[in-house]
Structure 1
């Protein structure tokens, strides 16, 4: 059984310039994902899929492989990670490299550890699901969520749940946006991961931070330093 880790990392990020290689507590952000993948000792290969020369250089410097340069058609704001993973699987197959399992690990996941990746992979193999991805519980009951209408007035999605005790509401979870394990067959054939054929690996809230803005980046750094002190 062969397992591949693919780290998607395109250039041209807009909200945070050079986000994937920006300094994060002394190292390029992507370096944490590369090192965690390598040190987990569960992958036969760790590659970075990128269209950017600077990212490719950093990836190689930290021990990842870059067997191809991603096509520009797969490097804009509207291309999904699924498309990038499928593309990588197909390109590698043409090179004579095939894998049973694929992990998509985001370059913006510095709060993870090799141990978490190993535990998640073990769960994926044990569950025998098509996919397993990291998830976290919502901190507030989503059944009590509301939106603002055209007049900026408050409108609940479901008023009937307003008086229901929190402990009586179904717990809700969200994609943590850090890693996704799947069989190669599932990556190529399935078009949607969020179905009963998938399972999840739950993460504590201190390990989850979606880095989209500079404020997110600074918050992630604080979480990282706090987690380092606890370990």
Structure 2
């Protein structure tokens, strides 16, 4: 069983400029994902895809074995994620000269994961025979109980009402918040049909404290605090 880990880190970021190279707990943000992947001992290669030469140099310094230069049309704000990951996989395989059986993509902006989370998600996919496994945390809000939408007249309604009203959140079906941390695919799925949700997509549950994705300066502050609490101000 051969496995490749990809990490896709675009140079442009409007929410938090330069976030992928921002130093957190003694390492550039991007380097934490490379370190976590290496710690699992699962991967035959770790590849980083970027449109930024600075990011690619930092990736090489952090231990990435394959550097993938991302085409400009895949580095826009509107570029879908799955085709970018597919491109990174195929480019890495072309350079390495072999094909993977399993692809794992780690989001560089979700560094609170542990290596054990990566291993757990991979083990779930390989045991269940699924096309894809995503990671998520229990949702704070429920579309059956306290998540609402506005209709065309501006009236608030439950997003997903049930025939029998749910009067306690604990009685609502369990819901999860995708944390964008870990995606695991079988090669045949991501190459043949690059998307996240297949009929058999599985979910690996992670706790809320390991599920913050950096999209805003507030997220950066929260992640920095939690990473420094866990690892100190210098790399572990």
The superposition leaves residues 150-205 of structure 1 with CA deviations (integer Å, 9 ceiling, x where unpaired) of 67653433566655332321111121101101111100123442243111110011
Residues 152-231 of structure 1: pairs in structure 2 closer than 5 A = 154-157=156-159, 163-227=166-230
Q: Distance in 1 between matches of 2:72 and 2:136?
A: 30
Q: Distance in 2 between matches of 1:11 and 1:227?
A: 27
Gap runs ≥5 in structure 2: none
Matched, 1:121 2:93: no
Q: Distance in 2 between matches of 1:55 and 1:47?
A: 12
Q: Kindly tell me: are residues 68 and 152 of structure 1, through their superposed partners in 2, closer, same or farther at Cα, counting changes over 3 Å?
A: same
Gap runs ≥5 in structure 1: none
Aligned residues: 229
Deviation at 1:228, TM superposition (A): 5.0
Q: Kindly tell me: are residues 184 and 195 of structure 1, through their superposed partners in 2, closer, same or farther at Cα, counting changes over 3 Å?
A: closer
- Secondary structure in structure 1 of the residue aligned to 2:66: coil
Hey, what does 1:142 align to over in structure 2? 143
Question: How much is the aligned-residue C-alpha RMSD, in angstroms?
Answer: 2.1
- Contact 2:82–2:196 (8 Å) recurs in 1: no
Q: Kindly tell me: are residues 158 and 178 of structure 1, through their superposed partners in 2, closer, same or farther at Cα, counting changes over 3 Å?
A: closer
Q: Distance in 2 between matches of 1:89 and 1:163?
A: 44
- Contact 2:22–2:29 (8 Å) recurs in 1: yes
The superposition leaves residues 202-225 of structure 1 with CA deviations (integer Å, 9 ceiling, x where unpaired) of 001111112111011101222334
Matched, 1:8 2:8: yes
- Contact 1:135–1:173 (8 Å) recurs in 2: yes
Deviation at 1:38, TM superposition (A): 0.7
Matched, 1:45 2:48: no
- Contact 1:56–1:66 (8 Å) recurs in 2: no
* Structure 1 residue ranges (4+ consecutive) displaced by more than 6 angstroms after TM superposition: none
